Amino acid sequence: MNYTLHQLEIFLKTAQLQSVTKASESLYLTQPAVSIQLKKFQEQFKIPLFEVVGRKIYITEFGEEIAVAAENILNEVKAINYKALSYQGKLAGKLKVAIVSTAKYVMPYFLADFMNENKGVDLIMDVTNKAEVVSALENNEVDFAMVSTIPTNLKINRIELMQNKLFLVAGRNYKFKGKYLSYSEFKKLPLIYREQGSATRLAMEKFIDSRKISTYKKMELKSNEALKQAVISGLGCSIMPLIGIKNAIANGELQIIPVKELPITTNWNLIWLSSKNLSNIAKSLIEHIETNKEVIIDRHFNWLGKY
């Protein structure tokens, strides 16, 4: 047998995603390139690794065993590379971060320079809702988490990064009278919520409940992007983080509806367990962010001051 590490990587990614299309996107390859390498890899085995039914690919039992072996081999290769870089005095290894979905508009900017300066660091960033982010941190599955609401049940250390402002927004065709939308008019709005466990949902409910506003819940959606598109289409209104709707506001797809006591202002925080035995990579990232935080904010987020 004469298969390559490249073929192992392609087969493993295809097995994990069960899709040639998704594997090619994940590996930044064309679909034909992935298909060719899968064919060459399969030719080295007399037993089928996968079968195609319709347009869907299914991994066989034998294929699943090969996928496990491939993952082990690739992990060992990464370990060798990490050790080689470590002996050269460079940072090497994995950095695991869990972030709430709206933080995807923020966290990459705080990581970009650090990752570019440390080529031996592999970033694994999970984007999910607040409940799952906190769970990953509590179970020591990640080095850091980025949230706008600090979990009260955990002993954590944190770096306060920047403000997070949430406004009431509507599609371009919504019309209202006066300087501010009254609470009586607010009650009539068909509101679209994020799912339970979302920090945006929590902030929105806290604002509405504290003012005893009886509202009409139109629907709930599981991602900030889906929520944004629903509001743009005119399905309803929502209270959303400004950070994720900059372009939609700039091109007129969304409009901010002025309401007294809005925006809601929270803060983005990078957090980690106080008891966490931090790796050299984690310690270096903390130092990098503490040193460069203000420069990063000024370079990438100074537009927030206009709102």
**What's the CATH number where 47 sits?**
1.10.10.10
User: Within this chain, do residues 169 and 233 fall inside the same structural domain, yes or no?
Assistant: yes
User: For position 272, what pLDDT does the model report?
Assistant: 96
What phi, psi does 254 have (nearest 5°)?
-125, 155
What phi, psi does 225 have (nearest 5°)?
-65, -45
User: For position 249, what pLDDT does the model report?
Assistant: 93
User: Within this chain, do residues 124 and 44 fall inside the same structural domain, yes or no?
Assistant: no
Q: How far apart are CA 236 and CA 234, in angstroms?
A: 5
User: For position 111, what pLDDT does the model report?
Assistant: 95
Last residue of a domain, one of 87, 116, 141: 87
User: For position 87, what pLDDT does the model report?
Assistant: 65
User: Within this chain, do residues 146 and 278 fall inside the same structural domain, yes or no?
Assistant: yes
User: For position 53, what pLDDT does the model report?
Assistant: 79
Of the CA atoms within 13 Å of residue 291, those in its CB half-sphere come to 9
Count Cβ atoms below 10 Å from residue 136 Cβ, excluding itself.
17
**Full domain range(s) for residue 77:** 5-87
User: Within this chain, do residues 257 and 226 fall inside the same structural domain, yes or no?
Assistant: yes
Point out the residues of the chain with pLDDT beneath 50: none
User: Within this chain, do residues 157 and 296 fall inside the same structural domain, yes or no?
Assistant: yes
User: For position 216, what pLDDT does the model report?
Assistant: 65
Last residue of a domain, one of 66, 87, 108: 87
User: Within this chain, do residues 271 and 128 fall inside the same structural domain, yes or no?
Assistant: yes
User: Within this chain, do residues 177 and 231 fall inside the same structural domain, yes or no?
Assistant: yes
Q: How far apart are CA 67 and CA 42, in angstroms?
A: 12
Element (H, E) at 294: helix 280-301
Q: How far apart are CA 84 and CA 78, in angstroms?
A: 10
Number of compact structural domains in the chain:
3
Amino acid, single-letter form, for residue 205: E
Q: How far apart are CA 37 and CA 52, in angstroms?
A: 16
User: Within this chain, do residues 107 and 155 fall inside the same structural domain, yes or no?
Assistant: yes
User: Within this chain, do residues 282 and 168 fall inside the same structural domain, yes or no?
Assistant: no
By the 8 A CB rule, do 194 and 241 touch? Answer: no
Four-residue CA torsion sign, 51, 47, 31, 112: positive
Last residue of a domain, one of 45, 64, 87: 87
Q: Report how many helices (DSSP H) and strands (DSSP E) the chain contains, helices first.
A: 11, 11
Count Cβ atoms below 10 Å from residue 65 Cβ, excluding itself.
12
Would you put residue 28 in left (φ > 0), alpha (ψ -120 to 50) or beta? left
User: Within this chain, do residues 142 and 283 fall inside the same structural domain, yes or no?
Assistant: yes
User: Within this chain, do residues 206 and 245 fall inside the same structural domain, yes or no?
Assistant: yes
By the 8 A CB rule, do 238 and 169 touch? Answer: yes
Q: How far apart are CA 213 and CA 157, in angstroms?
A: 36
Amino acid, single-letter form, for residue 231: V
User: Within this chain, do residues 172 and 34 fall inside the same structural domain, yes or no?
Assistant: no
CATH number assigned to the domain comprising residue 214: 3.40.190.10
